[in-house]
Homo-oligomer: A and B are copies of this chain.
Amino acid sequence: MALEHAILVSLLEKPGSGYELSRRFERSIGYFWTATHQQIYRVLKRMESDGWIDVRDVPQQARPDKKEYSVAALGRTVLSQWLHEPIEPESVRHELAVKIRGAAFDDPAALIREVERHRQAHTERLAHYLAGERRDFTGHEAPEAPDAGRELQHVVLRGGIAYERMTLDWLDDVLATLHRLAPQH
């Protein structure tokens, strides 16, 4: 399991409440690990009772009070241990690929609109990543004092960008194939 670890990384990058974490899991770290707010609240509670993180009640005006979590010493140890353990290659769940192979037993042309929808979604995500890259990573780095966190966030973001570009190319390939199989469209 790695949700705990994703939360530890996110809280190390910046302490925050369950609500704030669930927002981050819709942006930033959520591009590489998804979680709903229910999952996050439940896991935060367990992590806190296990002493991995500390809580602090933060009264707010103009909005409900919140609980701000930050990583405790034990949490850093746990994260460090996890970082030194080898992980298995990702187990893939590529629903669209299953659909494409399934289309052979139905109407391939009917998938065209669906694939175009995905293409659109990936175009938007790529634009979003590129905007984030321009915003956060276009300043000059001091070459003698690189900021490790910043560099590592950037290389992960470059991975997201490469993934979206590859996916767009592939979806074009899929669309060409579907059109070839259904020339009347």
Contact = CB atoms under 8 A, between A and B. Distances in A.
A33 B97 CA distance: 9
A155 B169 contact: no
Contact of A103 (B83, B96, B105, B146): B83
Interface in A113-135: 114, 117-118, 121-122, 125
A177 B149 contact: no
Interface stretch (A8-16, A40-48, A49-57, A61-69): A8-16
Interface extent on A, as a size class?
A: 35 or more
B101 A13 contact: yes
A177 B151 contact: yes
A87 B101 contact: no
Given A90-B94, A166-B166, A174-B155, A83 B101 contact: no
Contacts of A76: 105
A99 B87 contact: yes
Contacts of A103: 83, 148, 152
Given A110-B84, A148-B181, A169-B162, A34 B92 contact: yes
A88 to B, nearest CB: 8
A151 B181 contact: yes
Contacts of A181: 146, 148, 151-152
A173 interface: yes
Contacts of A99: 5, 82-83, 87
21 contacts: A5-B99, A8-B102, A9-B98, A9-B102, A9-B105, A13-B104, A32-B92, A32-B101, A33-B92, A34-B92, A79-B106, A84-B110, A89-B121, A101-B152, A101-B153, A101-B156, A104-B148, A108-B148, A159-B173, A162-B170, A163-B166
